[in-house]
Amino acid sequence: MRNSVFSQKIYSFLLTAYKWYLQTPDRSLEEAYQTALKIKEIEDQHFNGNKISSDPAIYSSSVMDYFEIELKKLLKKARMRLTEFRASRWFSNESKQKAALKAGIEYPSPAVVLEKLEFIDLVISKYTIDPLQENSPNLSPLSIIVADDAAIDQSLKPKSPVQNIQPKSKRKADTTGVLPRSILSTITRLQVELDPNSEKDVVQNFRQTQKRTIISIRFILLLIIIPLLTHQLAKALVVGPLVEKVRNSQTEQVFLNYEMEEEALEKLQRFEERIKFENLISNAPPISSEEIENQMKEKAQQVAEEFSAESSNAIKNVFADICSVAAFIWLLLISKSSIAVLKDFFDHVVYGLSDSAKAFIIILFTDVFVGFHSPHGWEVLLEGISRHWGLPANRDFIFLFIATFPVILDTIFKYWIFRYLNRISPSAVATYHNMNE
C-alpha cells in the first residue's frame, strides 16, 4: 500500500514536470509579452508614449539612471524569453503537440502568437540601433548603452571565416618602405591614443571582456551544478525507489562481487578475533562458544545490511550517472554559443599568462597525469570508480590501462607542444624545456 502511494506521488510529480515542459513555448512568449508591456507602460506614463530617452531632459540624471537600469533589465529579460521561445518551438513537433492535447494543455492560436510577437518586436526594435549609425552625434547615452549591448551580443557569437575577412585599405605599414615597421606602428599607436574616440573603444572592449567572463563563469558553473543536481535528484526520486522496489520484490543479493564478500568475511574474522582477545586480556571468566556464536550472528546480520545497502547504492549510482551524462551532453548541445564564448575566454586567459606561468602549468599537468608518480593516482582513481559502480577491481585491466594510457597522453602533450605551442609561443616552449631540465 505504501509503495503504491509513493508510486502515485512519483507519477504525479513526473506528470507535472512534463506539463511544465510542454508549456514552455507559451510560458516564454507570455513572459516576453508581459515584459514588453512593462516597457510600454513606462513609455506611456513617463515619456508621453515616446521612446525612453534622455534627449528631452525631462528628468534629472539620477532619475534617468534609474530608467536606464530598468530598461536594460527588461530588454535582457525579453530577449532571453524570446530565445527560450524559439528554442522550445524548435524542439516541438507533432507528437509533443498531441501529448499536450492529451495532457489537457491548449496552445494559443497562431493569430494570438503572431500578435504578441509583433508587439514585442515593435517595442524592442526602438532600442536596436544600426551599427552604421552608432557613431552618430545625435544618439542619446541610453541608446549608446543599448547599442553597445547589442554589439557585445553579436561579438560573442562565433563568426565564420568569411565574416572575419574584411577588406582593408593598403597602408604604408603593410608595405616595404624606407622607415622600419616598428616606427610606423609606434606612430599608428600614438594616433590611436590621441584619437578622441579611443576612450569609447576602450569602454566597449571592457564591456565585451566583462560579458565574456560572466558568460564563461556562469556556463562553467552550469556544467558542474546541473550534472551533480541531476545525479542527486535522479538517485533520490526516480532510480532509488525503483531499485529498492525491485530488490525487495526479489531475492535480495547481498554482495554484487566477490570483493565485497571477502571484505565482509574479513570483518567477521576480525570481530571474532577481537572478542577472543578482549576476553583473554580481561579478568572476566572465559566466554562460551554459544555467546561467541550469538555475537557473531548479530555482527553478521549487521554486516549483511551494510553491504546490501552498499550494493543498492552502487546500482543506483550506475543509472544516476547515466542521467548525469545525458544532462551534461544535453547542456552541451543547447549551448553552442556559450561553448564558443568559453573557448574564447580560455584563449585569452591562457595566452595572457607569462611564459613561466605557462611552463609551470604544463609541467604540473604532465607530472600529475603522466609523470613518475602518476600510476599510483590512476590506480586509486580506477579502484574508486569500480567501487562506485559496484564492479570488482580487475587488476589486470588496471595495470594494462596504466601501462598504455599515460603513454598515449604524454605523446599527445608532446605533439601539442611541438605543433601548436611552439608556433604560438616559442618563448614559452623554451622556458618549459629550461624548467624541465
Q: What is the 3-state secondary structure (H, E, C) of the chain?
A: CHHHHHHHHHHHHHHHHHHHHHCHHHHHHHHHHHHHHHHHHHHHHHCCCCCCCCCCCCCCHHHHHHHHHHHHHHHHHHHHHHHHHHHHHHHCCHHHHHHHHHCCCCCCCHHHHHHHHHHHHHHHHHHCCCHHHCCCCCCCHHHHHHHHHHHHHHHHCCCCHHHHCCCCCCCHHHCCCCCCHHHHHHHHHHHHHHCCCHHHHHHHHHHHHHHHHHHHHHHHHHHHHHHHHHHHHHHHHHHHHHHHHHHHHCCCCCCCCHHHHHHHHHHHHHHHHHHHHHHHHCCCCCCCHHHHHHHHHHHHHHHHHHHHHHHHHHHHHHHHHHHHHHHHHHHHHCCHHHHHHHHHHHHHHHHCCCHHHHHHHHHHHHHHHHCCCHHHHHHHHHHHHHHHCCCCCCHHHHHHHHHHHHHHHHHHHHHHHHHHHHHHCHHHHHHHHHHHC
> Are 306 and 364 part of one and the same domain?
no
Query: Could you tell me if residue 165 is inside a domain?
Result: no
Q: What is the pLDDT of residues 190-232, one digit of tens each?
A: 766 666 666 777 777 788 888 888 989 999 999 999 999 999 9
Other CB atoms within a 10 A radius of the CB of residue 74 amount to 21
Rounded distance, CA 427 to CA 437, Å? 15
Of 99, 129, 156, the position where a domain reaches its end is 156
Query: Could you tell me if residue 278 is inside a domain?
Result: yes
Q: Does 419 have pLDDT greater than 90?
A: no
Query: Could you tell me if residue 139 is inside a domain?
Result: yes
Query: Could you tell me if residue 64 is inside a domain?
Result: yes
Q: What is the pLDDT of residues 156-167, one digit of tens each?
A: 344 443 344 334
Contacts 24+ apart (CB under 8 A), 364-369: 365/413, 366/410, 366/413, 369/406, 369/409
Expressed as residue numbers, the domain containing 310 is 229-335
Residue 15: per-residue pLDDT: 62
> Are 243 and 389 part of one and the same domain?
no
Query: Could you tell me if residue 391 is inside a domain?
Result: yes
> Are 92 and 144 part of one and the same domain?
yes
> Are 360 and 430 part of one and the same domain?
yes
> Are 24 and 115 part of one and the same domain?
yes
Of 156, 187, 212, the position where a domain reaches its end is 156
Q: Which residues contact 371 (CB under 8 A, 6 or more apart)?
A: none
Of 110, 128, 156, the position where a domain reaches its end is 156
What SS3 string covers 258-278? HHHHHHHHHHHHHHHHHHHHH
Rounded distance, CA 94 to CA 129, Å? 38
Query: Could you tell me if residue 168 is inside a domain?
Result: no
Residue 79: per-residue pLDDT: 85
> Are 116 and 84 part of one and the same domain?
yes
Residue 324: per-residue pLDDT: 93
Rounded distance, CA 340 to CA 342, Å? 5
> Are 146 and 28 part of one and the same domain?
yes
Query: Could you tell me if residue 218 is inside a domain?
Result: no
> Are 299 and 410 part of one and the same domain?
no
Q: Among residues 361, 362, 352, 373, which one has the least CA distance to residue 414?
A: 362
For residue 330, what pLDDT band results from cuts at 50, 70 and 90? very high
Q: Among residues 230, 199, 434, which one has the least CA distance to residue 324?
A: 230
> Are 133 and 237 part of one and the same domain?
no
Residue 22: per-residue pLDDT: 67
Q: Which residues contact 339 (CB under 8 A, 6 or more apart)?
A: 219, 332
> Are 25 and 106 part of one and the same domain?
yes
- Residue 392's alpha-carbon distances to 82, 194, 253, 312, 398, in angstroms, are 50, 70, 16, 15, 11
More confidently predicted of 253 and 240: 240
Q: Does 360 have pLDDT greater than 60?
A: yes
The residue type found at 153 is D
Is residue 124 a contact partner of residue 146, using CB atoms and an 8 Å limit? no
Query: Could you tell me if residue 171 is inside a domain?
Result: no
More confidently predicted of 130 and 347: 347
Q: What is the pLDDT of residues 31-60, one digit of tens each?
A: 888 888 888 888 888 777 788 876 655 666
Structural domain count, the chain = 3
Residue 218: per-residue pLDDT: 92
> Are 331 and 359 part of one and the same domain?
no
End-to-end CA distance of the chain: 71
Whether the predicted model's global pTM rises above the 0.75 cut: no
Is residue 158 a contact partner of residue 337, using CB atoms and an 8 Å limit? yes
Q: Does 390 have pLDDT greater than 60?
A: yes
The residue-averaged pLDDT of 357-368 equals 85
Q: Does 124 have pLDDT greater than 80?
A: yes
Widest pairwise Cα distance in the chain: 108
Residue 7: per-residue pLDDT: 60
> Are 275 and 362 part of one and the same domain?
no
Locate 91 and state its grid cell. Answer: 524542439
Q: Among residues 74, 76, 80, 83, which one has the least CA distance to residue 34?
A: 74
